[in-house]
Chains A and B, each alone.
Chain A
Amino acid sequence: MKTFDTAPAPHLPARRSVRSVMGLVLLALAPGLLAHAWFFGPGIVIQLTLATAFALAFEAAMLKARGKPLRPFLTDLSAPLTAVLFALCVPPLAPWWVAAIGMFSAIVIAKHLFGGLGQNLFNPAMVGLAVVLLAFPREFTQWLPPAGLEGAIAPPGLLESLRAVATGELPLPWEWDTLAQATPLDAVRTLGAQGATLAEIRGAPLFGDFGGRGWEWIANFFALGGLFLLWKRVIPWQVPVATLGTAVLLTLPFWLYDPDLHPFPLQHVFSGALVLAAFFIATDPVSGCTTPRGRLLFGAGVAVLTLAIRRWGSFPDGVAFAVLLMNCAAPWLDAHTRPRILGEGRAP
């Protein structure tokens, strides 16, 4: 008689791990990151490194404090993903403590105080971003002009950027004042308020074909990464389709009604962080919806709230707040969109 160890079925290994899922998302962010570095200089690399370092440090400290094993959770790549998403949304030369405070809010408060991986009600990266956005609005006005802009100075190099982030000293000929560079969304808001038509606003060199110059390319590369994730079935199609589709459908009638006052729908899509949100932020499984119809509603809600905040809010881009608000609604949406069970409603 030969004896064997037993275990419950199924006996085959799972096809993915949390680490491989997070790794694929990080991989899909790479083209957008490179485009970002191309247009805005190596600042993003510094922000990303800083944020990742802070995220892992806070993660390790919280795991230790909560008595959880370090190894599986530090290597699951979820904290670096939070850090990267955060870094992509802050200005490239933002001071180092923006990353520190952002990651503290994201990892310590939004993630671990709610119970760690899988338990957070709110998207940690967006919590971090919202905190720094609300606390330090000035730092968020300091975007570099995109490379390739006529008459603009090339973005600072790696060492200069490093110094700027670490000490707040800008290399010549930059000054913080000249850095108060409006993003395309800022331009639409401020110039629009001054009575300029969109045709005039869009004539500014800051604008590209659809959205802002540089921004639209970055968005393209994010979309490319997003398509990769869809192909790999890492993210559900419902969220990006609902987010982008709603943004277009909602703005189309306004634009048709008066193209001078209302931006072209694709300008909305390719400005700010909407594409990033549609593929990488609103698709966060933990804080989003889990039913197919819930995901459609979640994505649509993100788009509607983002557009509302862009139009009426006091912040130029409302993606972070839109996502956080929809996070609040997710459990309710899930509870009311449970799919019909096979054979449910069929008479026995």
Chain B
Amino acid sequence: MRLHRFHGGLALPGHKAESTAGGLRACPAPAVLRVPMLQHAGEAAEPCVAAGDAVVRGQRIGIARGASGADVHAPRGGRVRAVEDAGVPQLPGIPVPHVVIEVAADAPEVNLPPLAGDEDPDVLRARLQAAGIVGLGGAGFPTAEKTAVRRERLVVNGAECEPWIACDDALLREHADEVVRGARVLARIVGATVVQLAVEDSMGEALAACRAAIDAFGAGEVELVVVPTRYPEGGERQLIQVLTGLEVPRGGLPRDVGVVVQNVATARAAWRAVALGEALVERVVTVTGPGVARPGNFVVPVGTPVSHLVAQAGGYTPAAKRLLLGGPMMGIALPHDEVPIGKTHNCVLVLGEAQLRADGDEMPCIRCGDCASACPSRLLPQQLLWQARAGRLDDARSQGLFDCIECGCCDLACPSHIPLTQQFRVAKTGLRAQDAAAANAEAARQRFELRQQRLGREAAEREAKLAARKAATSPEAVAAALERARARRAGAAPDRNEPG
């Protein structure tokens, strides 16, 4: 199969072997789980349990709300200690309800009834929704919503391109069979005739496992595609370009070019939701970096605090300097380790001083264009920076600010060490705020205009009534009325005087 190239990107050292040596390790649940109600793209789910309630594993504890919402289930059985608001790393400063569960060791488990893999697509899709399946690659888009369209091609994304993150690699090594069967379920839902499992050429063991699984369970449907290792190939748009040569339109979605992309872990979760009736309550998380003693890949119940997870990996080393949720290119730096793991968190990375970029050594832009060479969206980051810093946000928008996928390649390419990606995040936030303000102003203007129209109309009506009344009492009208009366009388008199 002929592969295509995507523009830019970087060849980065993978650092996967550090965590994949020990295979998948179970992370025992901590005594207390704090389950965030926002582990997906849309609005936070509405908690449907209260303090004091007993819950069992797999029980729904949060009800999806709004577009792109998803249900949340109890990761383990126990008793609800509290439902309280707290921040989540991806949306700092916005309170999100958390259900705090005291885990009981011997609590039972509820599963949905198992379904056959060849059920009606709508039934399968409803199951994904009921099991709270969301994209596990990072964006957390609800899978049922993403698979609500019929498309001819399904791409199962195992191109785990960001350094250090190895959860998909570890998952494929042990559960490639479930991934392949999940891929077939998803393909059935979207009606895809082409199903491609894309794995990077650096993931040797995972590739072997995928081959074996496809031979056993692929049924001639699922095709393994070995793609070259290059960051950010795991990005949907980049992967689609590599596989098909097609470009997802600006502002569009992969479905616009007939493709649905799902992460390998999502495919596995879909399979388990269908075949075993399991809700999505745990995921594989890579815990790695020079800052942890025994890196590894762990099966982690959601709601487990990072501190507990790091303890399972042998705790911090003296080198620990920065705590990241996610990889070194796009991960969020956490201020402390009491943050609970959610469905979309694939990696806990602890870096030391030696791996970090120095701050305060920024130089002026020398317009070398290395940022543009590295940009997978083919933007001119240095021009965008110019617009963003000058406050010309609308120019930045037209030059592709929102086409930026925040992969961070330009920052690494920049010899002047300018924090380009951060500038773009700030500019995007500014534009969104500006758009929201403009929408508010527009709504206010419309309200005002409607009110003005209404007032005008009422005034006109009053005027008309008044005029009608006035017209009724004007001298001409009086004269005319007298005239009419007289005429009536004159007309009537002869009648009356007529001899009977």
How far, in Å, is B9 (CB) from chain A's closest CB? 12
Give the size of the chain A interface in residues (CB under 8 angstroms).
45
Complex interface: chain B residues within 8 A of A116 (CB): 364
For B419, list chain A residues within 8 Å (CB).
Answer: 8
The answer to whether A6 and B251 touch (CB under 8 A), given A11-B356, A341-B379, is no
A193 interface hit (Cβ, 8 Å) = no
- Determine the distance from Cα of A21 to Cα of B330 in the docked complex, in whole angstroms: 26
Select one of A12, A118, A343, A346 contacting B357, CB under 8 A: A12
B369 touches A6 (CB 8 A): no
Q: Is the CB of A343 within 8 A of B338?
A: no
Within residues 351 to 394 of chain B, which ones have a CB less than 8 A from any CB in chain A? Answer: 351, 355-359, 361, 363-370, 372-373, 376-380, 382-383
**In the complex, which of the residues A2, A119, A291, A343 contacts B372, with contact meaning CB atoms closer than 8 Å?**
A291
Residues of A within 8 A of B355 (CB): 11-13
A10's closest neighbor in chain B, by CB? B408
How many A-B contacts are there with CB distance less than 8 Å?
190
* B328–A341 CB distance below 8 A: no
Give min CB distance, B457 to chain A, whole Å: 41
Given the known inter-chain contacts A9-B331, A14-B415, please indicate yes or no for A341 contacting B369, CB distance below 8 A: no
Question: Known: A13-B357, A16-B415. Contact between A6 and B376, CB under 8 A?
Answer: no
Q: Are B412 and A117 in contact (CB under 8 A)?
A: no
Q: Does B491 interact with chain A (Cβ within 8 Å)?
A: no
CB A292 to nearest CB in B, in angstroms, measures 8
Query: B252 near A18 (CB under 8 angstroms)?
Result: no
User: Would B366 and A117 count as touching, CB distance under 8 A?
Assistant: yes
- What chain B residues lie within 8 Å of A118 (beta carbons)? 363-367, 416
Consensus secondary structure, chain B interface: loop
CB of A15 within 8 Å of the partner chain? yes
A172 interface residue per 8 A CB criterion = no
Q: How far is the CA of A22 from the CA of B314 in the complex (A)?
A: 44
Report the nearest B residue to A294, measured CB to CB. Answer: B369
- B18: CB under 8 A from chain A? no
Q: Which residues of B contact A186 (CB under 8 A)?
A: none
B421-461 CB mask vs A (1 if < 8 Å, else 0) is 11001000000000000000000000000000000000000
Distance of A68 from chain B, by nearest CB (Å): 10
A332-348: CB near B (< 8 Å → 1, else 0) gives 00100011111110111
* Minimum C-beta distance from B448 to chain A (A): 34
Are B408 and A4 touching (Cβ within 8 A)? no
Distance in Å from the Cβ of B404 to the closest Cβ of chain A? 10
Cα-based distance from A286 to B334 in the complex (angstroms): 37
Find chain A residues with CB under 8 A from B334 CB.
4, 6
- Given A341-B400, A343-B248: A5 and B411 within 8 A (CB)? no
Determine the chain A residues whose CB is within 8 A of the CB of B330 once the complex forms: 9-10
Answer yes or no: A20 CB below 8 A from chain B CBs. Answer: yes
Assuming the contacts A1-B307, A341-B377, A342-B237, asked whether A10 and B336 have C-beta atoms less than 8 A apart, the reply is no
A21 touches B372 (CB 8 A): no
What are 25 A-B contacts defined by CB distance under 8 Å? Answer: A2-B336, A5-B321, A7-B322, A9-B326, A9-B328, A9-B330, A9-B332, A9-B333, A10-B357, A11-B356, A12-B163, A12-B328, A12-B412, A13-B356, A16-B415, A18-B366, A18-B416, A118-B363, A118-B416, A233-B370, A285-B369, A290-B369, A339-B378, A340-B378, A342-B247
The 3 closest A-B pairs by CB, nearest first: A10-B408, A118-B364, A348-B252
